[in-house]
A and B are shown apart, each in its own frame.
Chain A
Amino acid sequence: ETGVTQSPTHLIKTRGQQVTLRCSSQSGHNTVSWYQQALGQGPQFIFQYYREEENGRGNFPPRFSGLQFPNYSSELNVNALELDDSALYLCASSRGTASGNTIYFGEGSWLTVV
């Protein structure tokens, strides 16, 4: 148990639809990062939120967007879904943005786009 919870655990969407994934960070953690993990690959960094502001973004198009709320929970939104968006989406939380802080991952949300 890492204290990071994600919902939903599994979902199926149709190409062109929009999806929202949710993450509750571990208590006291003000930093949330989102990763996309395709089958057989390592997680790839999408973006990070620190104190409700985006704090860095990976190589993902603008149709991937996010939010962080005052309680530090976070949402990942993906518009105009494509088949290649099918993946495990992982949320990770930490206390601050330095690499010395332990980063805890949730169990992920499996998204299938058909």
Chain B
Amino acid sequence: GQQLNQSPQSMFIQEGEDVSMNCTSSSIFNTWLWYKQDPGEGPVLLIALYKAGELTSNGRLTAQFGITRKDSFLNISASIPSDVGIYFCAGPLTGANSKLTFGKGITLSVRP
């Protein structure tokens, strides 16, 4: 099946710093989704990308759909304590449908 790779497993940054995460696959995706999961909660959609090369922002978050369609990047600028959580990339299992495959996630810690 299609697999999404995220590394490292954990990232530690200082409040105010920028951070970048990427997600790669050996398969082509036509949709890339970035979710954040807080402890004890379900994933919440941050940004959705539907076109190769697309760059989309949501406040301090910016994500890009890679030109090869095999990768995506999420950048968080000027991090704050509430950015702490697990960040997942996700994409359709097949075609353009709502059945998703997820990466293993990156746990972000922000030091005040």
Report which A residues bind B (CB closer than 8 A).
Answer: 2, 4, 31, 33, 35, 40-45, 48, 56, 58-59, 90, 92, 94, 96-108
Interface residues of B in 19-38 (CB under 8 A from A): 30-31, 33, 35
Instruction: Check: B93 CB closer than 8 A to any chain A CB.
Output: yes
Q: Report chain A residues within 8 Å CB of B102.
A: 42-44
Q: How far is the CA of A42 from the CA of B23 in the complex (A)?
A: 13
Of all chain B residues, the one with the shortest Cβ separation from A91 is B42
Q: Which chain B residue has the least Cβ–Cβ distance from A100? A: B50
* Size bin of chain B's contact surface: 20 to 34
B79-107 CB contact bits vs A (8 Å, 1 = yes)?
00000000010101101111111111100
Q: Give the Cβ gap from B99 to chain A, nearest Cβ, in Å.
A: 5
With an 8 A cutoff between CB atoms, is B40 at the interface? Answer: yes
Q: Given contacts A90-B43, A99-B96, A105-B43, is CB(A45)–CB(B101) below 8 Å? A: yes
Q: Is B48 an interface residue (CB 8 A)?
A: yes
Interface residue from B30, B88, B98 paired with A97 (Cβ < 8 Å):
B98
Q: Is the CB of B103 within 8 A of A42?
A: yes
Most A CB within 10 A of own CB, among B44, B92, B97, B101 = B97
